Structure 1
């Protein structure tokens, strides 16, 4: 079975602000069938129409639930047929064992809210979860040990690597808990503007994909110095070529 491919719409946020329907049409024209939403809770009707017209499916979406209005985000995701809703970032609390426990508990509560709507709920990492240490272990490993199995994971493989992890080894440890991957490339730096199309930088993209063969591949750029649609197209060609 070939893993599904998607693109995080944050990558094209400026284009979306200027022309949401046209941007979705352009992504469909590149060959995408799926997208990952962000900032959708105030634009449900607009996205519903534009996604249908472009022939795109919102497999997943990002929304801040742990520190925001979880019920509103869940209702908006359900209205758009989102399969997996991801909290993209919890910045604080990773420094202590009690903080990590509180984060895991809160995410478990949200997963329970999501289940009756037919939505999986999960969490997306950055670097700081790996940079904080608790009793000789990184905070992310402590977190996943405590996490309710109903909470799934979207591993941002770039930020895991920048945070000092081997993304392929991390994925092997986590197994099927990982439902989605953020795939991006570039040097191991926190300077997002240095990000490059998949296959053009230092990330072990081939090994990452092999380590999570069933996870949805979500192409993303936090920033890009070139034409963003060209960068996305290059990433899509590289990943599709590896998995053809």
Structure 2
């Protein structure tokens, strides 16, 4: 089945903090099926966010939240249990890919989180930036070392845009991950600068989404994240939805536009 289409709430963070229920309702009206939370639970509390997602008719795809490890681990699990999150997504820091030893130390935290999350019936997923792919040790990408060291219970949320920034082909990465890749962040733009890129609606930038999203994988959700925009956020989300569903790449709530209208 074609993966469902969701939105990472960082995309609409300002709007949602001003009007949580109204913003989620607008996403549903556009045809999006789910959301990955970021920055809302800290503002509103898990119960209100959970209820607002449900009231909008959306699915909670995942929660973008720090790995539940160390002294704050149980509190993080408590919060996400109340939210109703089944998958907790986070990243290691850029400097943790400076050397193989740094990668190994960072992975200890992720694997601890996976163990603790499993005790609550949750899964942890790893979200990449670009250093995982740009850093190479003896001809081997840091990402490959990372995957080797991660607990088998750790899922993957591939950020295809940052993979391209790191010099990787996201279609090839997804194919190699197989069923481990459950989520993918879908963003588009020039793919030039990690700090300064301005995003554009999906299909209007550099990324080959037709190839990436049809690669064999275990993806269940395509999650649109548009971090910086020069146009109205909801207009960008509308055009992104139209592109992804109209080309049959993602599944939404509305009937997609005919293909000829997308040329």
TM-score class normalised by the smaller sequence: over 0.9
Asked whether the equivalents of residues 2 and 214 of structure 1 are also in contact (C-alpha less than 8 Å), the reply is no
RMSD: 1.8
Partner of 2:22: 22
Give the aligned partner of residue 6 of structure 2. 6
1:180 equivalenced with 2:179 (yes/no)? no
Which SS does the other structure have where 2:97 is aligned? coil
1:209 aligns to what? 213
Residue 86 of structure 2 corresponds to residue 83 of structure 1 = yes
Q: Does 1:231 align with 2:199?
A: no
Work out the CA distance in 2 between the residues paired with 1:70 and 1:173: 31
Deviation at 1:2, TM superposition (A): 2.2
Q: Which moved more, 1:65-74 or 1:27-36?
A: 65-74
Pairing of 1:30-179 with structure 2 (within 5 A) = 30-42=30-42, 43-65=45-67, 69-179=72-182
Cα pair distance change 1:194/1:97, threshold 3 Å? same
Q: Is the 8 A contact 1:3 1:214 kept in 2?
A: no
CA shift for structure 1 position 132 = 1.7
Equivalents in 2 of 1:192, 1:236: separation in Å?
24
1:41–1:72 CA contact under 8 A, matched in 2: no
**Count of residues in correspondence between the two structures:** 244
1:36 aligns to what SS in structure 2? strand
Structure 2 unaligned residues grouped into runs of 5+: 250-263
* TM-score with structure 1 setting the length: 0.93
The range that moved more, 7-16 or 66-75, is 66-75
Corresponding residue of 1:198: 202
Matched residues in 2 for 1:236 and 1:138: separation?
Answer: 33
Work out whether residues 13 and 40 of structure 2, in 8 Å CA contact, stay in contact via their aligned partners in 1.
no
Query: CA contact under 8 A between 1:132 and 1:139: conserved in structure 2?
Result: yes
**Secondary structure of the structure 2 residue equivalent to 1:69:** helix
Q: Distance in 2 between matches of 1:81 and 1:173?
A: 30
Hey, what does 2:247 align to over in structure 1?
A: 242
- Indicate if the aligned counterparts of 1:120 and 1:152 stay in contact, CA closer than 8 A: yes
Q: Deviations over 1:49-82 (max 9, x none)?
A: 3122212221201012258833222222221221
TM-score, L = length of structure 2? 0.87
Aligned residues of 1:155 and 1:182 also touching (Cα < 8 A): yes
Task: Show the counterpart of 1:220.
Answer: 225
Deviation at 1:193, TM superposition (A): 4.4
Q: Pick closer, same or farther for the CA change 1:68–1:158 going to 2, 3 Å.
A: farther
For residues 228 and 74 of structure 2, what CA distance do their matches in structure 1 show? Answer: 30
